[in-house]
Structure 1
């Protein structure tokens, strides 16, 4: 880290330390919501000392209580999601009972009430309508509760369910659950791939080697709620496009469970084949053999009000038929995919001020013939058996009535194996350039092991008197690190190429190739939510440092060491990509009538991109796959290229190592402006309208310095095979052909 970057980061962290010294209160929004308000008498004067009790089965102990401050203000900064009853009591005044107050993850509800002087016969005043509009937060949030997740018609996976979120785009449709075993990237309001953050219980568990993807395949049945933020993201989060927070269910003081089973087959499927498609030779859609989905859960107490557990199991198997693909026994191919999940959460407390949470998730994805098709024969499909593991721990401490401290940490490993099938043996991969069919073996045997650790801490301080306003100060830090070791190997270190079954060429590789890239980040943020009358101002800033490194590594080519120059050692490169960013964020909310029913909001913010481990490996790591293509003359007719006698003319030599990262490369970023209005139409319905404006700047791209625009100098045409239309384009001049392999 250079001196300038270090000075900037230390300055930001020093501001956080100053915030912690306030001694204040922390409102955790990772896996909880909050409730606050002001209690006054019939003259409008503040009532201190009012006892406020929030009761819910979601709370360990059944209820939590607080008393109003000298300004009549009360707060519950961290409430688990669920339905609550609120009791408001003060001797000499008529108590108030409010039922069915729903607290969602990240929701900051405001409930102000007026206490009347008690009559001779005191009775509880039951108020039947609780607010559902958040008049403080200025982010664009959508929360999917357990009921929504369980009852909405969907393919029972997170990506399909999130398509209900306004503005969110998923790249493919998942009809009938065919795609539920494949992770999907998402975007919203024109955000880039690096602008998606996957949180689990509030902790950032986004893969560090591959942007846009989260920690494995959690079962949606194990979620209590999923909170989705699509705009106006505050300074406590790194990314600014799409924040997905998955909150896992917890146990309770009573045992409860769930059993679910779902089944599909081809008799429950239709297609949309019309005459036009039939004329093009399409006679059927992708049929389904069968789909089986089984889910089981159990949660409850180990010790009442002290120790709760929740455990979930899910088995999801889908067997889609593959068109125009036949197994050796004559049966139609299926591209089966199987998911298995075990999720365990433990919650405990020494007392209401000290709470602990532990989460473990283990999952397996099995695809015994991945990518099988009419062009990839069964023996050339991959055997994928990947098993992900997620660990997470969290500690919440209510230090004072106005202080909540949260410390959390997590780790994950997400292997991505593409392995040879057992029947391949020592066979080498073959590909026919005319029929486009691959056979005998997959193109490679590959293993990637994405690994990540993350640690964070947050503190929040409440002050009701400073400068005539109420303040919710919040500050925190985050440290993340990851690496992405990879191994690429191929039988015979080669690939055979044919043309209509006739030996044509052979491609030699420098395998096995084992490489790695590492990245890490340190971040700190401070923000304040300032409430003056009906107006709330949210302002914050985030400082973040990112760095990507390449550790020392070696390549020892196998059979073709003399072609690629023998063993090579690559020195470590620290700070290959490094940047420090400062991200200001601000928002304002106006409760028009002061009754938490109609609120107008606006926000502005800057958001920077992250360094992706795969990006570093694939562009800047010289230790990667090299190849040499030769004409192949099969002199002995054994269908096996004999080196060197049958390797004749060298066609191309591709030796990596010339790719560089532009000096002074800076982080891409986006600026966002939003404006919205929200209106409560009752206790169960609210409507909102939001406008979002986003600009993406300093977008990174690969540039081939050997090919200036003038290199494409020959006018050329091609015919679209589907429409017959002529396509005009410019092709490379002869002096530039093949030069990219030499740069």
Structure 2
């Protein structure tokens, strides 16, 4: 007679089935990390087929998924006519899946682990018997998703708590992610939390909480500044490619799946600290030989956090709350505080090295409420107040010459989400998220003359700024800034075993308010300490923009046909932003001004298909071949509305010469007069404060229409295989290509208004062929047309073809064994950007898609630029190993290609004099005018970007930990060794060639922070 319950452990059975081929593949892939695909935004799922012992499908089988992660405990569905079932919207956790049908034994599958966006395949053959007889199967959880096609990286709390990192540096753990230069939090705790990958762009990156955006309106709605506490996340699900129709953009989507409490109380605490005495600051001899005078070093890094969650009412109402305090400070090489910030001449105080420092305070509360068996409500509140206390401080500014950003008081995110499984097949979801985000730009320290009066000074020979942070559109100008947004979603899912159909709508509204208050509404320019000129600003200055609607409507069907699952999606996108009306009172130099609102900046409409397929190769859920292709729009919010706001289209600043005859550093003249008087020359533009007729305009077909928005297509093909229980391999090919490029053109000129010239590259053995080669394709406007300008942003297709294409390969593995966890990966790629069809023979085209001025020669050697495979090949992995006596060691390694000899995408340059250009041009440079002696110059790029690279380097981080257990409480002491082997790669270098020997060309300017030891402790109960 059969026992009432029979238990089967699949782990040992599958282990014996491992083949020699699988072992060989593991040896090859031990450096890699697999990406788990995702379909839902923050939840997982379980799917499969139920058959009888003869192989026939069984409809009507009740399938229940139970877990302590569910506040409702159990979610149930039934198999359809094909014997298929799908359970969706399951929180990350470990599940027991139970199958029941009259006339068959009850079947239980234990230990099914789900992460966000992962669908576990659980196929079952039900044995004949009675419901009272139970077969229980345990073993390793499925690790191959045979239904979803989205490429995804999941970072669990185990990884966050066990590997040496700054706790938010997800880029360091993701093969292919853009380079991370953080060493133990030296760049700030949020460094590496967002990144680009597979040819994507920073403007397409989005941060999500429970699947909803919380980026600010800045930077095409990719703005950061509000930093989420990873302590409050159950896990971080990062989508790396193939995003479904639920997503507007194709860039990286970082989704923080929040903790929500449970039926028992759980707590966590963390404390970590390091300072300069634990940081190596030595300069290697090789860098000294390259004229590196000093290196950046850590001043201090601290990170303290804690959380508590549990039941208010068991199975009814849960709570979770997390708190975090962190900060960092790093020394700026070669820079010191000003001895007297009110003095007209900067004098460094060598006893006070300058620092870049940041602080952050974050508090979180979340409630999960099971209103009824079929209604669940989540409410969350995150608030923080932080400080960028010396923003973007470099060697080009004294500490008081930069800014302090105070974020708050305080900023917060409010979120509410609702789910309603109306039946076992019909699911309703809704949510609303609001970000209130404001900050104030202010002086970094008290100014003796006051923030409104202590005028900034810029030294003309070096660009060095001191006394205060003045100017307009200087990153961090004083004034109040507000950049709020609110977004909502609603979706309906209808799920059978064969189909998982979902349709929904998403909408976002946003507000931006940007004020600029330069002290004194002026800025002085000195040359070698003597007054040279004055810049006057049209103040008050305030612009407002509105994102009227960013609307997305989508439909997706996940259709399973035997072993093939199709992912079919279509998305409608509509974006409408405008510049708000502005009334400004009179200021020191301009009268009261009134600006009307301007609509449709822009108004875009797009249709974007997304198609994918996943095939369960052998039908056992352990091998899948996948592919997908999709069209995605480019990120945008109010950037164009800001660029075309009438305040910004006015003449908002002018310059005038200043001859300080009496040396009192006071302009002894009437600055309200536009004409020359006493010590001051005339202002540079008599339209000061009024509309600027030469302001940049946008072509109507750039701003409005169907399909006129920037876009990209993405495709990938992948092979995923379970080598043995707990070990999975992923090999994937990616391709990304862009369209609807724009260019900025001076429409006042035509190609015939320019003359071409060649120059000779410097003679230097470090250049190709020793240098001395001709560099042609340079242009100078003809003297009769000099100074004429009317810039218009147009579609690049009006001038020719332009392309940007990425091709790349990932090889990744994830190994979860008894005492060892290994995750890592190899990524390599090639990016080709070809602007030749646009810039060759079109010297009136001044800027490309990025908005940066095109500065290269208009020849194929410069306009067809390739970042080669070697320049993008990287290896990253992390390992955690549990030793006896509650000891644990872990490590991460990041291997990167060397830095390209380029600055902002521009290769090496040389300033050529008029006499060097004259033989080729046949005349003086037009900038010289009628001067008897021409002193004009032209800066020419003689070596394209990505032609020369620094050496490859690797950063190793190590951790040693010991755990002490007291009942349910675990206390762990931690020692982290960041950059353990003290690698000092060059991260940036001088690209300007000067003199006959190069001057400081290729001299390093920044390097990776040296070895850093950090002490921490964490507590779990």
User: TM-score, with normalisation over the residues of structure 2?
Assistant: 0.65
CA distance, structure 1, for counterparts of residue 310 and residue 762 of structure 2: 62
**Alpha carbons 1:181, 1:338 under 8 Å: kept:** no
Q: Determine if contact 1:93/1:115 at 8 Å carries over to the other structure.
A: yes
What is the distance in 1 between the residues matched to 2:131 and 2:615?
40
Q: Does 1:453 align with 2:453?
A: no
Partner of 2:511: 483
- Closer, same or farther: CA 406–249 of 1 in aligned 2, 3 Å: same
The yes-or-no answer on 1:616 pairing with 2:644 is no
3-state DSSP class of the match of 2:630? Answer: strand
- Give the secondary structure class of the aligned counterpart of 2:70: coil
Mapping 1:514-529, distance limit 5 Å: 514-519=542-547, 520-529=549-558
Choose from 444, 447, 454 the match for 1:423: 447
Matched, 1:169 2:178: yes
In structure 2, which of residues 355, 375, 386 is the aligned counterpart of residue 365 of structure 1?
Answer: 386
Alpha carbons 2:426, 2:494 under 8 Å: kept: yes
Aligned to 2:208: 199
CA distance in 2, matches of 1:67, 1:120: 16
Instruction: Name the counterpart of 2:412.
Output: 389
- CA deviations on 1:661-686 (whole Å, 9 max, x unpaired) are 11212211112222111111234221
Cα 1:687/1:222, change in 2 over 3 Å: same
Give me the whole-angstrom Cα distance separating, in 2, the residues matched to 1:544 and 1:178: 40
Task: Report the alpha carbon displacement of residue 364 of structure 1 after superposing the two structures with TM.
Answer: 2.0
The separation in 1 between residues aligned to 2:328 and 2:558, in whole angstroms, is: 48
How has the CA–CA distance of structure 1 residues 33 and 208 changed in structure 2, closer, same or farther, with 3 Å as cutoff? same
Partner of 2:734: 692
Deviation readout 1:630-662 (Å, 9 max, x if unpaired)? 111224433122442455323633764632211
CA positional deviation for 1:36: 2.1
| 1:406 pairs with 2:447 | no
Partner of residue 311, structure 1: 321
Which residue in 2 is equivalent to 1:40?
A: 51
Distance 1:500 1:115 in 2: 88
Shift in Å, 1:318: 0.8
CA distance in 2, matches of 1:600, 1:515: 51
C-alpha separation between the residues in 1 aligned to 2:463 and 2:43?
54
**Cα distance between partner residues in 2 of 1:632 and 1:208:** 40
Measure how far apart 1:123 and its partner are.
5.0
**2-structure distance, mates of 1:120, 1:652:** 90
Q: What is the Cα deviation at residue 69 of structure 1?
A: 4.5
1:444-484 CA-to-partner distances (Å, cap 9, x unmatched) read 413321111111101111245xxxxx211110011111121
1:535 aligns to 2:564 (yes or no): yes
Q: For residues 272 and 234 of structure 1, what CA distance do their matches in structure 2 show?
A: 49
Matches within 5 A, 1:65-144: 65-69=76-80, 71-118=82-129, 122=133, 124-144=135-155
Secondary structure of residue in 2 paired with 1:418: strand
Among candidates 402, 422, 432, match of residue 459 of structure 2? 432
Aligned counterparts, 1:114-513, within 5 A? 114-118=125-129, 122=133, 124-157=135-168, 160-170=169-179, 173-180=181-188, 186-211=195-220, 212-214=222-224, 216-270=226-280, 273-327=283-337, 328=339, 330-387=351-408, 388-420=411-443, 421-423=445-447, 425=450, 426-443=453-470, 444-464=477-497, 470-513=498-541
Distance 1:662 1:342, change over 3 A: same
Task: Give the CA deviation at 1:404.
Answer: 0.7
Name the counterpart of 2:827. Answer: none
Conservation of the 8 A alpha-carbon contact between 2:505 and 2:552: yes
The TM-score with structure 1 as length reference comes to 0.88
Among 584, 593, 597, the alignment partner of 1:568 is 593
Once residues 304 and 200 of structure 1 are traced to their aligned partners in structure 2, the CA distance between those partners, rounded to angstroms, is: 25
| 1:24 equivalent in structure 2 | none
Alpha-carbon spacing, 1:581–1:262, altered in 2? closer, same or farther (3 Å):
same
Secondary structure, counterpart of 1:335 in structure 2: strand
Any conservation in 2 of the 1:134–1:596 contact (CA below 8 Å)?
yes
Look up the SS of the partner of 2:480 in the other structure. strand
Deviation, structure 1 residue 71? 4.6
Q: Which string of whole-angstrom CA distances, capped at 9 and with x for unpartnered residues, describes residues 692-717 of structure 1?
A: 12210112343333455565547486
Deviation readout 1:270-293 (Å, 9 max, x if unpaired):
357333421343243211121111
CA deviation after TM superposition for structure 1 residue 169, in Å: 1.8
Contact in 2 for aligned 1:28/1:406 (Cα 8 Å): no
Distance 1:272 1:92, change over 3 A: farther
Q: Deviations over 1:19-52 (max 9, x none)?
A: xxxxxxxx99232111122322112233345443
- With over 3 angstroms needed to count, the CA separation of the structure-2 counterparts of 1:250 and 1:243, relative to structure 1, is same
- Greater alpha carbon shift after TM alignment, 575-584 vs 640-649: 640-649
Query: Aligned to 1:516, what secondary structure does the other structure show?
Result: strand
**Equivalent residue number for residue 649 of structure 1:** 681
Partner secondary structure for residue 541 of structure 1:
strand
Classify 1:86/1:66 alpha carbon distance in 2 versus 1 (closer, same or farther; 3 Å).
same
User: Where do 5+ consecutive residues of structure 1 fail to align?
Assistant: 1-26, 465-469
How much has 1:431 moved relative to structure 2? 1.2
Comparing 324-333 with 705-714, greater Cα deviation is found at 705-714
Residues 124-179 of structure 1: per-residue CA shift (max 9 Å, x gap): 3324243221111111122122212222322222xx21343233224x51122122
Distance (Å, rounded) in 2 between the aligned partners of 1:96 and 1:432: 79
- Work out the CA distance in 1 between the residues paired with 2:380 and 2:752: 57
- State the shift of 1:719 in Å: 8.9
Which stretch has the larger CA shift, 135-144 or 695-704? 695-704
Per the TM alignment, residue 557 of structure 1 is displaced from its structure 2 partner at its CA by: 4.9
Q: Secondary structure at the match of 2:643?
A: helix
Q: Which residue of 2 aligns with 1:581?
A: 606
Distance 1:120 1:348 in 2: 33
Task: Sort the Cα spacing of 1:40 and 1:90 in 2 relative to 1 into closer, same or farther, 3 A.
Answer: same
CA distance in 2, matches of 1:169, 1:709: 38
CA distance in 2, matches of 1:66, 1:190: 40
SS at match of 1:615: helix
Q: Distance in 2 between matches of 1:140 and 1:431?
A: 49
Work out whether residues 28 and 77 of structure 1, in 8 Å CA contact, stay in contact via their aligned partners in 2.
no
Residue 45 to residue 214, structure 1, CA distance change in 2 (3 Å): farther
Report the counterpart of residue 719 of structure 2 in structure 1: 677
Q: In 1, are the aligned partners of 2:109 and 2:137 still within 8 Å (CA)?
A: yes
Q: Does 1:703 align with 2:745?
A: yes
Q: How far apart are the structure 2 equivalents of 1:738 and 1:495?
A: 25
Q: Is the 8 A contact 1:145 1:224 kept in 2?
A: yes
2:655 match: 629
The answer to which of 685-694 and 725-734 deviates more is 725-734
Preserved CA contact (<8 Å) 2:39 2:148: no
- Shift in Å at residue 718 of structure 1? 9.8
Contact 1:384 1:417 in 2 (8 A): yes
* Equivalent position SS for 2:698: coil
CA contact (8 A) 2:503 2:555 kept: yes
- In structure 2, what is the Cα distance between the partners aligned to 1:120 and 1:163? 50
Task: Between 695-704 and 135-144, report the one with greater CA deviation.
Answer: 695-704
